[in-house]
């Protein structure tokens, strides 16, 4: 005789069937109370239980029924079918919410209902002796579980989620020449992090991100992308919001975009007149193209047939005039660059014998090379990129390089090469790019060479129509953003024949008044470095800049007069002196955020360290309501114990959305008296400007470091 509890469960099962039928008939015409809406949202939580329990019930009945009493098997199946019914009812309720199209969920819905009905039939007929019914029902249940689960995964994770890895071709397994911007770079990111909420079957905010035409159409809140005004694009805004913001994409409970993925999406929006153009169609200075190239190189990093050189060997080979480093962080491949023409000797090149197997990129531009040096280069069998601009190399010496079977890029600009030397270069089988600017080779010979060697692209510094093109900015290399005594900065450029000019005071560099870069630069104080590249026949590059901060002095004690906002409190005052720069994720814990109160820090200093100046490291992102302070005040305690204001600054207010930017403000202290206690006060913007979409609200101030020299 059945226990009353299980009789009650059977009645509950009948009620569940009635509810499911009502939900099927009623569809969107039903008005549901909030408690049922909550039940509907429990569907993703509940669905895992019936999947597992149904498989277990089938196994118990088909494989080990002789070892388990019939009553236990029956009760287990009843509970399983009840959970299945509850999950189906929750799913039906969830489907009434906005964002779900019936045509896209109907097959999942009906297979789930069939699963519930078939499970119930099995329970009511479990004691039947009919052999076909006894064997076929469990088998059909397993098939329905698999099909229903697969269809559900397609709704949650994207079409053909299960088999997608077998057919999706992402940028990681493509060559740079094959890759398309959307199909191979952006779409795989969307599929992993975005499409579960923005696809045909679930259009959150009426936005779809699974196909180009839907991305261009936008959603309820505006344009998905705007190439004319990238920072106004819906996608751009949402991915850069704080993770705690309700409008942040993806939602904080979902897998988040990496910084690399954010940069890729942002650059794609800002630099793509055509959404799905080839990566090779982007200009050479394109940040997006460079990010994709780096991604491809990282994906291929593990494909080299050699192991890594030891970290100690690499460290020993580095000095002020020779830089040896990994091509990418995970790669065993190395790139090497020489600096300082006067310091170069053949022995410096020969010392690389310890890592000649790992060197795939070597830059000897502006070094004085001899024929023996070129013979040494022939030992670097894995070289892929070789820069020999302005080295005095003679044409006949190039024969020594024929043994470099992996060479893809060769730069020979500024050398006395003749027309006949092109015959030697024609024998380089894998050569893809050949730089021959400022040589003695005639234009006719270059054209003839290009016609007969179409696999090799010859670059002479001009576009085909004779119009000069703009150089991309130089690359700045350094070890530490924050240093105590001194930091060395190196500059380089992919086109090695350029000349780099720089400034250290934040002013704009030019080729007439600025310093020319020749050797590594030693920085002994906080500086804003800006650099530009120039070359004859080219348009000068835009500038590239970076801030390097000197932090010679650490306060004996530091305190905050007002606590930061709890969401952006980091480690309190200690955050400002931990010598760790924050990135553009201002919720990472490395930034302190203030809105309702000012940032006021009181520093107790040891006057014997002779502090001279203070540098504030700040952040702004107008789209996230983060502005520079309305005012910056610095106070210094006098010998009599009174506070005297020594600095007041009111930074210029941004006039538009400028994106995420870093700022530094350096203030000189009054060294005419011993410097002991200093007070710094940053007042948040009292009201956002009229052009802002949150005009009238208070602004935020974010600071990550206070650096004392």
Model-level pTM? 0.40
pLDDT of 118 higher than 70:
yes
Residue 9 has a pLDDT of 80
Q: Check pLDDT > 70 for residue 355.
A: yes
Nearest to 322 by CA among 334, 339, 308: 339
Integer Cα distance of 40 and 98 in angstroms: 13
Write out pLDDT tens, residues 452-509: 888 888 887 643 334 456 777 888 898 888 888 889 999 988 676 789 999 998 888 9
Mean pLDDT of all residues in 373-398: 91
- Mean pLDDT for 128-139 is 70
Indicate the pLDDT class of residue 99, thresholds 50, 70 and 90: low
Q: What is the mean pLDDT of the segment spanning 37-41?
A: 71
CA 25 remoteness from chain centre: 47
Peptide bond into 250 cis (omega under 30): yes
Higher pLDDT, 539 or 253: 539
The pLDDT of residue 314 is above 70: yes
Q: Of 3.40.50.720, 3.30.450.40, 1.10.10.10, 3.80.10.10, which CATH number belongs to 301-459?
A: 3.80.10.10
144-196 pLDDT, tens per residue?
888 877 777 766 655 555 555 444 445 555 667 778 888 888 888 887 788 76
Of 5, 37, 23, 200, give the one whose Cα is nearest residue 116.
23
Which whole-number Å values give the CA distances from 594 to 211, 568, 698, in the listed order? 41, 8, 10
pLDDT recorded at residue 530: 93
Q: What is the DSSP string of 476-487?
A: EE-S-SEESS-E
Taking a C-beta distance cutoff of 8 angstroms, is the pair 85, 24 a contact? Answer: no
Q: Could you tell me what percent of the chain has a pLDDT over 90? A: 21
295-308 average pLDDT score: 72
* CATH number given to 475-550: 2.60.40
Flag whether pLDDT at 682 surpasses 90. Answer: yes
| End-to-end CA, the chain | 87
Interval 274-290: pLDDT, tens: 778 888 888 867 888 88
557-708 domain in CATH 2.60.120.260? yes
For Cα atoms 670, 675, 678, give the angle at the middle one, nearest 5 degrees: 85
Beta-carbon contacts of 652 under 8 Å, excluding residues fewer than 6 positions away, are: 628
Q: What does the domain layout of the chain look like in residue ranges? A: 4-157, 167-299, 301-459, 475-550, 557-708
Beta strand extents in 250-300 (DSSP E only): none
pLDDT band per the 50, 70, 90 thresholds, residue 199:
low
pLDDT digits (tens, 9 = 90+) for 548-606: 888 888 899 999 999 999 889 999 999 999 888 888 788 888 999 999 899 999 999 88
- Half-sphere exposure at residue 500, Cβ-oriented, CA atoms within 13 angstroms: 25
- Rounded CA-CA distance 349/373 in Å is 7
Q: What is the pLDDT of residue 172?
A: 55
Over residues 245-249, mean pLDDT:
80
**β-bridge partners, 278:** 180
Q: What is the pLDDT of residue 463?
A: 38
Please tell me which residue, 17 or 200, carries the higher pLDDT value: 17
Give the pLDDT score at 2: 63
* Average pLDDT over every residue of 371-377: 92
Distance of CA 96 to the CA centre of its chain: 36
DSSP string spanning 90-111?
A: HHHHHTTSTT--HHHHHHHHHH
Q: Is 548 exposed, middle or buried (0-12, 13-18, 19+ CB in 10 A)?
A: buried
Lowest average pLDDT, out of 192-206, 504-518, 599-613, 615-629, goes to 192-206
Mean pLDDT, range 60-86, rounded to an integer: 80
Q: What percent of the chain clears pLDDT 70, i.e. is strictly above it?
A: 88
Per-residue model confidence (pLDDT) at position 353 = 92
Structure confidence at residue 466 (pLDDT): 40
Binning pLDDT at 50, 70 and 90, where does residue 329 land? low
3-state DSSP call for residue 696? coil
């Amino acid at each position: 005789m059945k226990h009353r509890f299980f009789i009650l469960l059977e009645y509950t099962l009948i009620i569940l069937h009635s509810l499911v039928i009502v939900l099927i008939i009623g569809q969107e015409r039903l008005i549901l109370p909030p408690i049922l809406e909550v039940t509907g949202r429990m569907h993703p939580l509940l669905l895992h239980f019936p999947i597992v329990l149904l498989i277990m019930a089938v196994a118990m009945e088909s494989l080990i029924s002789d070892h388990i009493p019939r009553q236990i098997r029956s009760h287990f199946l009843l509970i399983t079918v009840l959970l299945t019914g509850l999950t189906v009812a929750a799913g039906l309720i969830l489907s009434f919410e906005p964002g779900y199209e019936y045509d896209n969920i109907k097959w999942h819905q009906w297979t789930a209902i069939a699963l519930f009905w078939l499970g119930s039939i099995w329970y009511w007929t479990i004691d039947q002796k009919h052999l076909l019914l006894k064997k076929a029902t469990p088998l059909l249940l397993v098939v329905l579980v698999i099909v229903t689960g697969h269809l559900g995964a397609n709704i949650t994770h994207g079409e053909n989620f299960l088999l997608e890895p077998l057919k999706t071709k992402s940028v990681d397994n493509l060559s740079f020449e094959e890759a398309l911007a959307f199909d191979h770079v952006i779409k795989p990111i969307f599929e992993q992090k975005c499409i579960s909420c923005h696809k045909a079957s679930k259009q959150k905010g009426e936005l779809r991100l699974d196909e180009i035409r839907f991305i261009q159409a936008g959603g309820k809140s505006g344009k998905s992308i705007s190439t004319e005004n990238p920072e106004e694009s819906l996608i751009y805004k949402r991915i850069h919001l704080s993770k705690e913001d309700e409008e942040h994409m993806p939602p904080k409970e979902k897998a988040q975009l990496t910084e690399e993925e954010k940069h890729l999406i942002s650059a794609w929006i800002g630099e793509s007149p055509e959404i799905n153009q080839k990566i090779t169609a982007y200009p050479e200075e394109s940040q997006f193209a460079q990010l994709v190239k780096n991604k491809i190189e990282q994906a291929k990093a593990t494909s080299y047939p050699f192991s890594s050189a030891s970290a100690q060997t690499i460290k020993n080979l580095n000095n002020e005039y020779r830089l040896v480093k990994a091509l990418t962080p995970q790669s065993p491949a190395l790139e090497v660059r020489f600096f300082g023409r006067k310091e170069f000797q053949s022995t410096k090149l020969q010392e690389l014998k310890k890592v000649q197997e790992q060197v795939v990129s070597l830059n000897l531009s502006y070094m004085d090379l001899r024929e023996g040096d070129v013979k040494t280069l022939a030992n670097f069998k894995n070289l892929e990129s070789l820069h020999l601009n302005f080295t005095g190399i003679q044409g006949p010496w190039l024969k020594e390089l024929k043994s470099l079977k992996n060479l893809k890029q060769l730069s020979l600009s500024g050398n006395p090469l003749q027309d006949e030397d092109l015959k030697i270069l024609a024998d380089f089988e894998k050569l893809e790019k050949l730089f021959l600017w400022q040589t003695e080779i005639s234009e006719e010979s270059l054209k003839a060479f290009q016609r007969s060697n179409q696999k090799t692209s010859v670059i002479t510094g001009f576009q085909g129509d004779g119009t000069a093109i703009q150089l991309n900015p130089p690359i700045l290399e350094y070890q530490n953003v924050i240093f105590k005594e001194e930091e060395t900065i190196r500059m380089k450029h992919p086109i090695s024949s350029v000349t780099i000019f720089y400034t250290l005071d934040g002013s704009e560099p030019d080729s007439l008044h600025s310093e020319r870069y020749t050797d590594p630069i030693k920085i002994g104080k906080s500086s804003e470095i800006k650099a530009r590249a120039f070359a004859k026949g080219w348009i000068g590059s835009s500038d590239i800049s970076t801030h390097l901060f000197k932090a010679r002095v650490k306060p004996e004690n530091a305190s905050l007069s007002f606590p930061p906002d709890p969401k952006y409190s980091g480690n309190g005052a200690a955050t400002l002196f931990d010598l760790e720069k924050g990135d553009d994720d201002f919720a990472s814990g490395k930034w302190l955020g203030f809105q309702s109160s000012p940032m006021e820090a009181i520093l107790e200093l040891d006057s014997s360290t002779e502090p001279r100046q203070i540098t504030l490291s700040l952040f702004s992102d107008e789209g996230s309501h983060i502005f520079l302070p309305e005012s910056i005040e610095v106070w210094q305690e006098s010998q009599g114990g009174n506070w005297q204001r020594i600095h007041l600054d009111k930074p210029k207010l941004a006039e538009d959305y400028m994106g995420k930017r870093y700022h530094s403000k350096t203030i000189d202290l009054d060294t005419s008296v011993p410097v002991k206690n200093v007070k710094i006060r940053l007042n948040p913007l009292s009201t956002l400007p009229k052009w802002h979409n949150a005009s009238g609200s208070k602004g935020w101030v974010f600071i990550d470091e206070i650096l004392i020299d």
